[in-house]
Amino acid sequence: MKLRYRYRIYPTDQQKIKLAQLFGCCRVVFNDGLAYCQETYKNGGKYEGINTLSKRLTLAKKTDEKCWLADVSAVPLQQSLRDLHQSFKNFFDSCKGKRKGTKVKPPKFKKRKSKQSARFTDNGFKVNQHNVYLAKIGKLKIVWSRELPVLPSSVTVIKDSADRYFLSMVCEVNPKLLPQTNKTPPLTTGFNNKSCGIDLGIIDFATLSDGEKVKAPKPLKSKLKRLRRLQRNLSRKQKGSKRREVARKKVAKLHARITDIRTDFLHKLSTRLIKDNQLIALEDLNVSGLVKNRKLSRAISDLGWRSFRTMLVAKGEMYGREVRIINRWEATSQTCSCCGFKGGKKELSVREWTCLNCGQIHDRDTNASRQILKVAGGQLDTQNGLQRKFKTTVKVAVSSEASTTPQYKQLSLF
């Protein structure tokens, strides 16, 4: 499987100028290729493919108007055209119905103020012990925050809005399957290994089926006062002035700090859960619909529910764990995890409730996490004879020691 390793680099002033020139050339090549394809389509023609775009780039370097394209490495320029070709291919496959999921939109023109990047492949880079060499850029000082498992197949240099530089390296590695966890299931779930159900919330980021509640750092909420002050200061600066650029960088650095805190928390929590549990169950939340609520949109966006789910699924593939996503229409907050009795819809202000059938007192979030685990485990939670009116389908990432390639299958539980 392919993994991406990201490292911070510190280019010199001269290298920053060369990188800025490289980013600009990659953007120009991409936009010119896209403009040519759009013009061809308007004149009744069809998409001509990557070979035609590459020939046009070679001819453009020999002209007086764009002879400066030869001052940078040709590897990232050709890669920009490959990215454009892949974007068109994904768009055409989506229109023909070959790609499952949401419809892919056609490629758009790149802007100068967006995140800038350039990818080096083949012989365009060389990884050394204390630095990384990029063609026509030089040796870049790098901080090895963690060990690189193998030599990368490609290296992407990135500059974010806070004027920080990174190298993103893609490596081909074999999945490292973790040993099976101890046979200590928190509930009678039908599994011989430890399992965990997770209920995501706003007050507590995650409530586990064993009763543990994990608080989120909520970096945006903690730094909102400072962010408002910096944005107010930015709005008062004249557009195009140097002081406005200084104020913009302060806002961008604070946003980067907020993102780093959130990402660090999500990575540490997801790694701990993957290592401690053999099976993890989550609910398929409609995050895009929930953020439309004006009163809760900022709080939900500050948590990062979707990123957390993506991390769990990816690390489950990597380490040989099962991550199951249950149907979002399961009444996990209404159903008693002990007897399966449905007590009806409850307001968000109700944090504890008593089952009318068995008399068990439940914490709302803990009961929901245990019910999520029971549904994902395939157990019938209707001991009092209630019947389900719909089917629940969960996604399982299956990996075994004999086969290092993860396989996916759909399980219809009811």
By annotation, the residues acting in catalysis are 199, 283, 365
Cβ atoms of residues 185 and 377 within 8 Å: no
Rg (alpha carbons) of the chain, rounded to whole number: 26
Identify the CA nearest to 168 among candidates 28, 1, 3. 3
Cα-Cα-Cα-Cα torsion 156, 161, 162, 168, nearest 10 degrees, comes to -10
Element (H, E) at 55: helix 50-61
CA distances (Å), origin 351, targets 14, 334, 340: 59, 12, 19
Q: Residue 256 in 3-state DSSP?
A: helix
Rounded to 5 degrees, φ, ψ at 153 are: -90, -25
Per DSSP, the residues of 341-403 read -B-----TT--EEE-TTT--EEEHHHHHHHHHHHHHTT----TTS---SS--EEEEEE--SS-
List CB contacts of 168: < 8 A, sequence separation 6 or more. Answer: 4, 5, 6, 155, 156, 157, 158
List CB contacts of 359: < 8 A, sequence separation 6 or more. Answer: none
CA angle 308, 316, 168 (to 5 degrees): 70
Cβ atoms of residues 167 and 140 within 8 Å: yes
Cβ neighbours around 182 below 10 Å, total:
10
Beta bridge partners of 141: 10, 131
Q: How far apart are CA 308 and CA 148, in angstroms?
A: 24
CA distances (Å), origin 27, targets 23, 161, 384: 6, 16, 64
Q: Residue 170 in 3-state DSSP?
A: strand
